[in-house]
Amino acid sequence: MKHFDILIIGNGILGTSIAFELTSRDKNLNLAIVGPQQKPGAATIAAGAMLGCFGEVTKTSFKTKHHIDKFNLCHGASTLWDPWLSSIEQCSNDTIPLSEGCFIIRNTQSGVIDDHNYIAIQEALEAYDCEYSICRTSDIPGYHPISTQRAYDSLFIPSEKSLNPNQLLSALNKTLVNANCEFVYHTVIDIKHTEAKTIVTLSNGEKISASNIVISAGSQSQPLIDALGLQKNIPNLFSGVGSAFVAQAENLAIKHIIRTPNRSFACGLHVLPQANNQLYVGATNNVSLFPEHHPRLSLINFVTQCFVEQINQDLHNAKIIKLLTGNRPVSLDTFPLIGKTHKKGVYIASGTYRDGIHQSPSIAKYLADVIFDAGEKEGSLYKAFTPERKLIPTYKHKNEAIGDAVEAYMSGAYEHKLYMPRVGWDKFFEELIRERLNKIYDKLSSKYIISPDFLLMIDEGNEQQVIDILNKCIEEKEGV
């Protein structure tokens, strides 16, 4: 049986970045990375990907100490990207192009959620003294929405960036080839842990062992956590299914990110320029019990329509060259799971939900510190997101969560073109939604108030079955 010092399970951005950091620190490390070559359902290859923290701010980003810690980690990650990319480029001999600058637009195609989150972004930019400018929407290169959907506000953040995650992954993989890392193109289907080593069984029946393992299999980390018997100590992982597409057109004028603030349950409409006159357009987000691998017609229809109406109507003839579906790893309390477990040599890096690519350099550095027992880990904010923990509260009262959920549902309805039959009826619709959500929250365990992000899962599945699963996940946690 082959044995490794470190076995990384999962070959998305986290597994690959951690492997890069570890092999950069110790050239003689005997390391392998396991994961299927095509990465079906991986979040990383379905992302745009935006690198930034301010564009992602919402009205809840600074709500509790944990929210603030999470924001500060993302803010800190922004400063790591330039040196991080230089060292990947140097080790791989690849060039990874970046698009610089992000326009945030505010239009009326969603509900009040856009206003709340747009204002929160501006307040965060001020509070963190980040350079930005208010701009005229007519000055945004390549922005030409239909007249009735034009934005009435926009700001430009020069420091927010984007890159193509496939180029990043490809360069990282080259660095790992150069570092003699072994690639195992299978999945891990079982894990047995002992004090001395961990033995994993691969999908082809082979077994390999390692002194240390890192579980970084994205939303598919849960079965591995279960196999280790750690599910009672760690917030469960779900899939935030996202759909997006890549389009191509002649002489694209879009030169920077153009995005809305985060919208109901999702990451907002965002358009990112890529090489070869291509554009990434995303993205939806439906939290689900299981990962999905294929885009849903209705969701692609929604994103394409939002794009041509709200961003650039001239691009209605652009060619769709790729449809993308990926599963964001989202934990039951929505916070990341990063660090060691009480089982010797078992580490976890997952639960990054919407910003795992942006955070990848800082997570890789932190985990390498933990594995090598280096000093930097001590003061790290990631300690608050250690995998074995109580569920981190996001709401104190269920009415607060219901209030946010009503706002998200109403805003989502407007995004899907709800037209009120009479002036003043929005209150009436809000009350109907509130009534339904009250019933759902009454059936959910009162030990922990789940985030509204999980409600679509209840809508789309067998209601009682999903509620039972969520309640089991909450109830089995020690001391929630």
Ligand X SMILES: Cc1cc2nc3c(=O)[nH]c(=O)nc-3n(C[C@H](O)[C@H](O)[C@H](O)COP(=O)(O)OP(=O)(O)OC[C@H]3O[C@@H](n4cnc5c(N)ncnc54)[C@H](O)[C@@H]3O)c2cc1C
CA–CA separation, 129 and 127 (whole Å): 5
∠ Cα 123 129 130 (to 5°): 90
282 binds ligand X (CB under 6 A): yes
Using CB under 6 A, which of the segments 119-127, 226-234, 322-330, 427-435 binds ligand X?
Answer: 322-330
**Residue among 142, 242, 273, 412 that touches ligand X (CB under 6 A):** 242
CB-neighbour burial class of residue 276 (10 A; exposed 0-12, middle 13-18, buried 19+):
exposed
Q: What residues are paired with 278 via a beta bridge?
A: 248, 274
Residue 347 is encoded by which pair of tokens?
């580490």
361 binds ligand X (CB under 6 A): no
Using CB under 6 A, which of the segments 13-21, 228-236, 338-346, 459-467 binds ligand X?
Answer: 13-21
367 binds ligand X (CB under 6 A): no
Q: At its nearest, how many Å lie between ligand X and the CB of residue 47?
A: 3
Residues in binding contact with ligand X, number by CB under 6 A: 42
237 binds ligand X (CB under 6 A): no
235 binds ligand X (CB under 6 A): no
70 binds ligand X (CB under 6 A): no
**Residue among 24, 25, 36, 248 that touches ligand X (CB under 6 A):** 36
Residue 137 identity: T
User: Would strands 286-288 and 237-248 be described as parallel, antiparallel, or unpaired?
Assistant: antiparallel
CB atoms within 10 A of CB 469: 17
**Residue among 283, 449, 457, 470 that touches ligand X (CB under 6 A):** 283
Q: At its nearest, how many Å lie between ligand X and the CB of residue 471?
A: 26
**Residue among 106, 116, 354, 365 that touches ligand X (CB under 6 A):** 354
CB atoms within 10 A of CB 192: 13
Smallest CA-to-CA distance from 392 within 404, 402, 383 is with: 383
Per CB under 6 A, contacts with ligand X among 244-273 are: 244
Taking the least distance from each CB to ligand X, the nearer of 48 and 440 is 48
Q: At its nearest, how many Å lie between ligand X and the CB of residue 308?
A: 19
Taking the least distance from each CB to ligand X, the nearer of 106 and 328 is 328
Taking the least distance from each CB to ligand X, the nearer of 57 and 283 is 283
**Residue among 22, 34, 104, 449 that touches ligand X (CB under 6 A):** 34
Residue 412 is encoded by which pair of tokens?
């989502």
Residue nearest to ligand X (CB): 12
Omega before residue 283 within 30° of 0, cis = yes
Residue window 182-211: x/- pattern of binding to ligand X, with contact defined by CB under 6 A: -----xx-----------------------
55 binds ligand X (CB under 6 A): no
217 binds ligand X (CB under 6 A): yes
124 binds ligand X (CB under 6 A): no
Residues 6+ apart with CB under 8 A from 258: 102, 103, 105, 140, 142, 143, 270, 271, 311
222 binds ligand X (CB under 6 A): no
Taking the least distance from each CB to ligand X, the nearer of 202 and 253 is 202
48 binds ligand X (CB under 6 A): yes
Taking the least distance from each CB to ligand X, the nearer of 142 and 240 is 240
Taking the least distance from each CB to ligand X, the nearer of 242 and 402 is 242
Residue 237 belongs to what H/E stretch? Answer: strand 237-248
**Residue among 4, 6, 7, 9 that touches ligand X (CB under 6 A):** 9
CA distances from 406 to 322, 436, 438, 443, 452 (A): 34, 10, 10, 17, 9
CA–CA separation, 188 and 203 (whole Å): 6
Using CB under 6 A, which of the segments 41-49, 57-65, 371-379, 437-445 binds ligand X?
Answer: 41-49
Q: Are residues 240 and 453 in contact, defined by beta-carbon separation less than 8 angstroms?
A: yes
∠ Cα 476 473 432 (to 5°): 130
Taking the least distance from each CB to ligand X, the nearer of 279 and 437 is 279
46 binds ligand X (CB under 6 A): yes
Helices in 155-296 by DSSP H: which ranges? 165-178, 222-227
CA atoms within 13 A on the CB side of 439: 9
Q: What residues are paired with 349 via a beta bridge?
A: 338
**Residue among 20, 21, 32, 35 that touches ligand X (CB under 6 A):** 35
Q: How far is CA 257 from the centre of its chain?
A: 17
Which residues bind to ligand X, rule: CB under 6 A?
A: 9-15, 34-36, 39, 42-44, 46-50, 187-188, 216-218, 220, 224, 242, 244, 282-283, 326-329, 350, 352-358
